Amino acid sequence: MANAIKEKRNGLWKGYDENGQLWDKGNYKDGIREGLWEWYYENGQLWMRGNYKDDKEDGLWEEYHKNGQLWSKGNYKDGEKDGLWESYWGNGQLKSKANWKDGKQDGFWEFYWKNDHFAFRI
């Protein structure tokens, strides 16, 4: 576990649900989230992970279906979605993709059927 210095969290912190199962873990530096954070389903399997910089989402973030397949992935910059974001069906096939800039959708959003064939664009 981490050390509390002047009431500010520092180091690795772990959160648990009411059954004692690990819910999340990540690092604090001087009371703010910094570096890799991970969240877990009630069965202990990884649900989501991403990085923080100065307590804001920054860099690659990934979310997973309960079956372990990737659900979505994309990047943040200064707490805002930035760049290509993709989501996936539970079978691992691409479901949708869109580009983001400064937290706003930039261009088309494309959707795909479960068989990976293009469906439509908005």
The answer to whether 69 and 82 are in contact (CB under 8 A) is no
d(CA 65, CA 4): 34
Q: What sections of the chain are H helices per DSSP?
A: none
Tell me, what CATH number does 103's domain have? 3.90.930.1
In this prediction the pTM is 0.87
What are the angstrom distances between the C-alpha of 95 and each of 73, 98, 121?
12, 11, 12
The tokens describing 73, both together, are 């992935």
* pLDDT tens-digit series, residues 78-120: 999 999 999 999 999 999 999 999 999 999 999 999 987 889 8
Specify the number of domains making up the chain: 1
Return the pLDDT at 94. 95
Domain that holds residue 35: 3-121
